[in-house]
Structures are given as structure tokens and as C-alpha cells.
Amino acid sequence: MMRVLVVDDDFMVAKVHSGYVERTPGFTVVGAAHTGGDALHAVRELAPDLVLLDIYLPDMDGLAVLRELRNNPSTVDTDVIVITAARDVDTIRGAMRGGALHYLIKPFSYAALRDQLEHVGSLHEKLARLSARVTAGQQDVDDVFGARPRSTSVLPKGLTAQTAELVRAALVAHPDGLSASECARVTELSRPSARRYLEHFVAAGRAEVRLRYGGTGRPERQYHWRN
């Protein structure tokens, strides 16, 4: 069970995010903090495995909290996912360089947070398996850091790099996923064309398919870009 601290200046938002965490198997909330100072204190006292860290806090910004966590030997191993409305590149760059595992822009869905929680859980499992070894091979390292994706530059006949980038950008901009019809509307392509590109990304390992179940009829294929 991974222990999570939720940090957000808004009490109601923190409650919503805590509910998301509790809905995810393998995760539990051990506390909530609403200021940077309280967050640092809570991490020292509760020793959570993961912190969901807001940027806009009343006493200090989240990046300062992140730096403090990384500079303190007792908290340096605590993982962090940034959850914020901040969209400026400097903040995103600061989170990445500060060691955040991911960056979710508010508002986000439960599915978006669940995916990231599951990624962190998987990462911890991989590191736990490696902990019994003295050394690791390249395949082990690739498995932890994420192996380089198979190239999507070599496209099947009839597909173009420009349109592939258009479809890729549409998927990235919709973390909850798109059906072929929805992707066609977003990109202004025909549905068959959109589906060809989507299936290419699935075959290349850059996207994945989940089934979306409606009230009646067959489930719809929903495509998600793989981070």
C-alpha cells in the first residue's frame, strides 16, 4: 500500500484529490496539507511514499517545497507528482529539474491521476525487484527509466509525418483518450484516416487502446497516448 500526502491550498480540492487516491487500489491517503510549511512538516512526520504537490500555496510556492524535500536527507526519497493550474514553461521546467515524476494540469479527471498513480506504483515494484541485486543490466535500467520507444518516423505507405504529428498532438492534448470519431473531429480528418494513424501509434507502442462501454451496443475503442 503506497501512502500519499495531498497538498493543496484549497480544502475542497484537496478533499476531491484525496477521494481520487482512495479510489485507486494500492494507494491510501495519510494526510493533507494546505500550506508549504505544513507540507514539509507532514512529510517529515508521516514519511509518505508520494506527495501530490500544488504549486500555488499561501506561504511558499510548490517548487520551493520540492527543493526543500530534495535537499533534506530525510525526505529526498519521497516521490512527487505536481498537480497545479500553472501552465508556464518555467514552472514546468522547474518541476522536471526538481525531480517531480509527473506534472498534471488542473482540472484533471480521476482517470488521468489514476494512470500516474499506477505508473508510480509500477516504478516502485520494479525498483523493489532490483534492490536485491548488486548490479543491473541495461534491460533492467531501461525497464525503470522507460525504454526508448520504437521509432514512428518510418510510416506505413499512405501515412505522412505531418498528419501523424497532428494526431499525436491531439492525443497528448486529451489525456482522457479519444475515439477514432473524436480524433477525426479534433484533427479535421476523415474517421478512416484518423483510425489508421491511431492504429499505427498503437502498433508502434506509442498509444494504447482501452474499451469504452456505453449503455448499449458494442464497446468503443478509445486511444490514449502513452507517457
Cell 464497446 maps to which residue? 219
The predicted structure's pLDDT at residue 113: 93
The answer to whether residues 68 and 143 touch, using CB atoms and an 8 Å cutoff, is no
The predicted structure's pLDDT at residue 214: 67
- What is the CB neighbour count within 10 angstroms for residue 143? 16
Q: From residue 127, how far is each of 15, 137, 140, 226 by CA, in Å?
A: 30, 13, 9, 21
Each residue's pLDDT tens digit, 163-193: 999 999 999 999 989 999 999 999 999 999 9
Domain map (residue ranges) of the chain:
2-128, 161-225
The predicted structure's pLDDT at residue 212: 79
Q: From residue 95, how far is each of 51, 64, 69, 211 by CA, in Å?
A: 13, 10, 12, 33
Q: Of 17, 27, 6, nearest to 117 (Cα)?
A: 27
Is 2-128 a domain of CATH 2.60.40.1260?
no
Q: Does 161-225 match 2-128 at the fold level?
A: no
Cell 500500500 maps to which residue? 1
What are the 10-residue block averages of pLDDT along the chain, 227 residues in total?
Answer: 96 96 95 97 96 96 96 93 93 92 91 90 85 76 63 71 90 92 94 93 88 74 88
CATH class name, domain 161-225? mainly alpha
Q: Of 168, 4, 224, 225, nearest to 101 (Cα)?
A: 4
Which residues lie below 8 Å from residue 152, measured CB to CB, with a gap of 6+?
Answer: 164, 168, 200, 201, 204, 206
The predicted structure's pLDDT at residue 188: 92
Which residues lie below 8 Å from residue 39, measured CB to CB, with a gap of 6+?
Answer: 5, 7, 33, 51, 53, 57, 65
The predicted structure's pLDDT at residue 149: 45
CA dihedral for 156, 159, 160, 166, sign (positive or negative): negative
Q: Read off the pTM.
A: 0.64
Helical residues (DSSP H) of 175-224, grouped into ranges = 180-187, 191-203
Q: Of 122, 63, 22, nearest to 4 (Cα)?
A: 22
Question: What DSSP character marks residue 47?
Answer: -
